[in-house]
Each structure stands twice: as C-alpha cells, then as structure tokens.
Amino acid sequence: MYVVVQLVVGSLGHRYIREEAMADPRTVVLPCGVGVPALGQGTWGMGEDPGHRSAEVSALRAGLDLGMTLVDTAEMYGDGAAEEVVAEAVAGRRDEVFLVSKVLPTHADAGGVPEACRGSLRRLRTDRIDLYLLHWRGAVPLEETVEAFESLVREGAIRSWGVSNLDVDDLADLPPGAGPQTDQVLYNLSRRGPEYSLLPRCRELSIPVMAYSPVEQGRLLGHTAVRDVAAAHGATPAQIALAWVLRHEDVIAIPKASSSAHVEENRAALEVDLTAEDLATLDRAFPPPRSKRPLEML
C-alpha cells in the first residue's frame, strides 16, 4: 500500500523516506507528501489480446501482493483496454493501490481533459485517479492543461497531476507555481540521456522521475555486460537492469510483467546491491552522456 509520510531531505536534495514496514521497503515521496513504492508496475501493451487478459490480471495482482502497488496505465494503451485490465486486477483492493493514468496531448485542452478523465475513471471503475499525467507535450498550451488538472484536483476526480516525456525546457514552460508530482520518461541503461540535465533539474525541483521501459522492453537482457554482472550476483539480466535504475533514491521504475513469475523476478531486483565495480562495468558498456541529448521516447 502507499502511505503519507513526513518528508525527509536526502543528500541530493530530493524528498524521500524508507518505510521498512511496507511490503516494498523502498519508497519515494512525491512533492504532495504521498509515499509510493520505488518499484511499481507498468501496463503498456496489456489489454490488446483478450487471450492474455487472465494472465495479465493475475500478474498485476501478484505484484500487489508483493508490495508493487503503484500501477501505471494510460487511456492510449490498447485504446483504454489496459485500464480495464487494471480495473479487474484492483477490484476489491482499490485502497491499496496508487493508480497512475495519462491523458493524450490531443485531449489536453480545457474541455478534453475532464472528458478524458471521466473515460479513464469509467474504465478503471474508480472514483479517483491518484496521479494523472500529460502523456507528452502537444499543441495545447501547458497552462491550459495545468488549469484543467487543477480543476480536477479540486473536484476530487484526481488527487494529483504530473507530466511525461517533458524535457528541461518543457518543464520551464510550465506556468508559475505549477506543482507536477513526477516526470515520467524513458530511462534505462541504453537511454541515459536524462542523466545530463533532466535528472539534475528534477532533483532541484524535488520532482521524482518515473522511468518507463527500464529494461528497454527486454532488449537489454542479451547484452554481455548485463549478463556478466547478473552472473556475478546470481541474478537475472532483468534484475540487474532494474537494480541499475533503482540505484537512484528518487527514481521510480515501472516495468511491465505479464506473468506472476515475471513479477516475482522484477520484485527480487530490490534485493540486488550493485557494487562500484558493477557500475563501472556497466558504464563502460553504456557510457553516460557527455553532452545534452534530445529526450527519447518509445
């Protein structure tokens, strides 16, 4: 479950706390004061094949049992079908779950945001979304989208809002006083661009980053360096890739898993402690950025 906790300022200036009593002992605190698991669950690709629905629901429920109670979805995923899978998975357990969904930029105007939110609420079979994100920046002025988000907060339809796929310049264009709870971006060993300026800027703003596709949709798993580090730890390559993302105390990872066994594998990544030698090995294979790179998306 997620909890409201007292904010603590860490060595990098971000807000976090470790909550040992939780099933997931590693917690990231959002600016609003809500603590969420550092390791959550993604749903990109779920709901697209009815034959996989039962396994997807079971996987999400297994994750809840293991403390991975942050569940990320979006109206775009399967044209809303992923939200329906989530609804089935969290039925009877809604209060344990921190639900994240996203509005498409084409729906991000003053009238579109509330309409899209109502659609997501209906598919999720809930009365509120805990964190509602702008999926990426489009043609609608950010000020208009933020005003619509704040209206939904006042109505109780959403508890907080954030952004996704926004780079440093985009964050600077948010209206004065805007308070996004996260910036969800593509971040993994092979997509290290955010380390150059985006992660530092988010730390300055005390905004945790939420990393999607933390194992690059499986493409990292065959890399020699990842496999070598995994072998040294008696772990799987996926666990090493996840542990690398989770080495940051202010980054939330949301891998997708479509089976209970895969969920259990992901959860065990929290037990992997990468050494300085491991990190050096991975740096050689996946060098950190030496200059600004355009923010990548999948």
- Whether the CB-CB separation of 239 and 230 falls below 8 Å is answered with yes
Instruction: Show Cβ contacts of residue 210 under 8 Å, excluding neighbours closer than 6 positions.
Output: 40, 72, 100, 162, 164, 182, 183, 184, 185, 251, 252, 253, 254
b/e code 146-159 from CB counts within 10 Å (16+ = b):
bbbbbebbeeebbb
16 is catalytic: no
Residues sharing a CB contact under 8 Å with residue 258, sequence separation 6 or more, in sequence order: 45, 46, 52, 55, 56, 59
Catalytic, out of 2, 16, 77, 212: 77
CB 75 within 8 A of CB 101: yes
Hey, which residues are catalytic here?
A: 77
